[in-house]
Chains A and B, each alone.
Chain A
Amino acid sequence: MSEVYDVIIVGAGPAGLGAALYTARDRLKTLILEKFMPGGQIVTTDRIENYPGIERIDGARLVAQMQKQVESFGAEFKTGCEVTKLEKLKDGNIAIYCDKDKLTARVVILAPGSIYRKLGVPGEEEFAGSGVSYCGTCDAPFFKGKNVVSVGGGNTAVEETLHLTKYAAKVTIIHRRDEFRASRVLIEELLAKANEPNSNLLVKYSTIATAIQGQGKVQSVKLKDVKTNKEEDYPCDGVFIFIGMVPNTGFLKGFVDLTDRGFIKCDCAYLRTKVRGVFVAGDCRVGAAMQLATAVGDGIVAAMMLKQYFRDPNWWNEPVSDLLQPGGW
């Protein structure tokens, strides 16, 4: 029989790495499964300025440091490994099916993260990869000297739009509301850029994209002013979509409870799912703030709480209580 891990963490993004740092430091036998290589969505970010204690860093470098730190305490990584199924065993352990392997753990922390949300408009699928992109840092150089439209109003949208202005001849950011949802500091930077003389950045509020159009390549996007309902064909060569993320939880259907939108249901304090011994951390859970620091924090919460489960498996069904002081263990 194959060995039983104390903890298997599904996903090596910030949540999974945060969890692994704590479990490995507790000398728990820890394995992290990742279908690509460690990092998750954060590796596509070229500027992180909101992770406390680090003034500015790119996602790939931060993740490399996190991985090195986690490995130094003995956690094992298995990359290129896509989890397809989980199963609660009669002895209380959990089986994880990954490619042809069946792995077993006393506790599982689910941290599969999230993937790009799509607009769901005509033309989006057709032009994906040939004019429609979800990663400004990856694809901006292919639009050097061209006109692009970026869609969204959160932190990622604003950061990626600013990145696009370094390459494109003209960038138009459209947002469905009449104010951005990004951090104030980013909004200020965006508006300052738009207000520069001869700026290549244009901001359009209260505007949505209803179709992406072209013959063989993107030639325009159909824009609609949501206040006046007026539509226009807006010429462009590319459309960058940054409208948030959806949880990457399809493989968990039937194992844990999911919301209608696919987020994993949990108690939101100790991060317990309905399955004993299965915790959740990061963007994939209900109530997630979808931030780097909160994902890391989630991983740490799960790593702290699993010790309580090891001490008393019946704790799983107990309500959230102020009697539990994990710091004192």
Chain B
Amino acid sequence: MESLTKETFSQKVFNYEQNKEWKFEGELPCIIDFYADWCGPCKMVEPVLQELIEEYQGKLNIYRINTQYEQELAAAFGIQSIPSLLFVPLDDKPQMAVGALPKNSIKKAIDEVLKVSEN
């Protein structure tokens, strides 16, 4: 899973320094996993996301942001609890889900928020 830095986040997701309004820079919908190495529930979500990368290959991207190192990005999204998953659709505003979600719930959000169906 690709880890985003402030620079790659600006290129692939949203350049919040240039734009005040939300403007998605990506070509595919994406999910962003805000996590940290100290967080047990984050470790529980990671393999689920890895499976989803395979299942939705070519239809969406899944990224991670390490909140320990990317504190500015975490603060920009007001992250105060991890894991937090940001669901970013192509043509709508992103939606944040806090907490470790089971696979079925993530798939439901992929379907309903990202409007993406399984391969």
Contacts and interface: CB of A to CB of B under 8 A. Distances in A.
Interface in B84-113: 84, 96, 98-100, 102-104
Contacts of B47: 36-37, 79-80
B72 to A, nearest CB: 13
Interface stretch (A18-26, A130-138, A272-280, A281-289): A130-138
A47 B39 CA distance: 13
Interface string A96-140: 000100000000000000000000000000001111010101110
B43 to A, nearest CB: 6
A84 B103 CA distance: 12
Contact of A130 (B42, B46, B78, B83): B78
Contacts of B84: 129
A80 B48 contact: yes
A142 interface: yes
B70 interface: no
A245 interface: no
Contact of A138 (B41, B46, B104): B41
Interface in A228-259: 238
B98 A128 contact: yes
B48 A238 contact: no
Interface string B61-93: 000000110000010001111111000000000
B40 A129 contact: no
B51 interface: yes
Contact of B102 (A44, A82, A135): A82
Interface string B16-45: 000000000000000000001011111111
Given A36-B48, A82-B102, A129-B80, 4 more contacts: A39-B44, A45-B40, A129-B84, A130-B81
Interface of B: 36, 38-48, 51, 67-68, 74, 78-84, 96, 98-100, 102-104
Interface of A: 35-37, 39, 43-46, 59-60, 79-82, 84, 99, 128-131, 133, 135, 137-139, 141-143, 238
